[in-house]
Amino acid sequence: DRPANVADCKYIDALLRLPSYLNLNAYGIFQSSEDVSISMATLEAVRLYGTLEEEFFIPHDTEGLPAKSRKPNPRSMLPIDQQHVELDEAVNPKSIVCLVLGEGRTPRTAVLCAVHYGWTSYSIDPSLAEGWDGYHEDIPGFTGYSGTVADFVDNTEDSIIEIQNQSVKHLVIIGIQKQKDQLRLKGNSNIMEIRARYNDVPTTLVSISPVRKATLAPKRRSGQYLSKLEKDIGYDPNCSY
C-alpha cells in the first residue's frame, strides 16, 4: 500500500505508459505534476461521465495509429511495426470535436486529446501563446485559437481552424476553471450557440476546477467526541488535482 505521506502519482504513471508518450514529451507541454493531473483527470472525466462511446477512447501510438489495432499477422514475415494495420472504418476519431476552453498559454489538454485519442481538438483562449496559435502539421488534429469563445463562435470563415460540421459525430466541451468564476458560457458563446455550430450533435460538457483545500494523501478527520463521524476516511476523487 502507498504510505499516507506519499502523494498518489496515478496520473503521472498513466501518462508515462501512453503509447504516444514520446511524442507528448517532445512537445514539452507538461512541466509539472499539476499539469499532468489536470489534463489526464479531464480526459478521465470525459470517459467516465460523458456519453461518448467507448470505441472512441482508443489510445494512439507515435505514428498516430490506434495502438489497439496493431495485432501481429501470423502469415506475415515482417515485424509488427511494418505490417499493414486494419482499421475499423466505422470508428473515425477525427469525427469527435473537442473544444478546450480557458487552459491558458499552453494547450496541454487539447494536444493530449489530439495525440492520445486522435480527436479533432481546439484550444480556445485569448492568452494562448503565439507559437501555439493556428494549425500545426506536426500535431495532426490540433488547432490553437487565440481569442474568446464568442470570437470562435462568430468566426464563420472557411479556414483551416474549422472542419465541415456535417462530419462531426460528437462534441466534447471542456472548461478549465483555474480561478473561481473564470469562465462563463453566456451571450453568443452559450452552450446552445456552440452546439448549433455543429448541428446540435450529441455533446459532453465537462468543467474542471482545482480542489485547493483537498489533500493528496488521506488525512485524519477530527470529529467530535461520541459523534458518528468516522475519523479515518480518505477519498480519491476521479478529477481532483
CA 143 to chain centre: 14
132: which residues sit within 8 A by CB, 6+ positions away? 105, 106, 107, 123, 144, 146
Name the DSSP letter for residue 86. Answer: P
Residue 237 falls within a domain, yes or no?
no
pLDDT score of 116 more than 70: yes
**Mean pLDDT for the stretch of residues 159-185:** 71
For residues 133 and 4, give the distance between their C-alpha atoms in angstroms, rounded to a whole number. Answer: 42
Residue 200 falls within a domain, yes or no?
yes
Residue 184 falls within a domain, yes or no?
yes
Residue 96 falls within a domain, yes or no?
yes
Selection from 50-59, 203-212, 223-232 with the highest mean pLDDT: 50-59
Q: Which domain holds residue 182?
A: 10-63+91-208
**Mean pLDDT for the stretch of residues 61-81:** 66
pLDDT score of 231 more than 50: no
Residue 18 falls within a domain, yes or no?
yes
Convert the pLDDT of each residue in 32-54 to its tens digit.
988 999 999 999 999 999 999 99
E strands, the chain, in order: 96-101, 120-124, 134-135, 142-145, 170-176, 203-208
pLDDT at 153: 87
For residues 126 and 66, give the distance between their C-alpha atoms in angstroms, rounded to a whole number. Answer: 33
Q: Which three cell numbers stand for residue 176?
A: 478549465
Percent of the chain clearing pLDDT 70 (strictly above)? 67
Residue 153 falls within a domain, yes or no?
yes
pLDDT at 133: 95
Structural domains counted in the chain: 1
pLDDT score of 237 more than 90: no
226: which residues sit within 8 A by CB, 6+ positions away? none
Give the pLDDT band of residue 157 (cuts 50, 70, 90): low
Do residues 145 and 128 lie in contact, with contact meaning Cβ atoms separated by under 8 Å? yes
Residue 169 falls within a domain, yes or no?
yes
End-to-end Cα spacing for the chain: 21
Q: Which three cell numbers stand for residue 98?
A: 473537442
Residue 75 falls within a domain, yes or no?
no
Give the pLDDT band of residue 76 (cuts 50, 70, 90): low
45 vs 3, 177, 224, 236, CA distance in Å? 26, 15, 35, 14
pLDDT at 56: 94
Cα-based torsion angle of the residue sequence 195, 201, 202, 206 in order, rounded to the nearest 10 degrees: -30
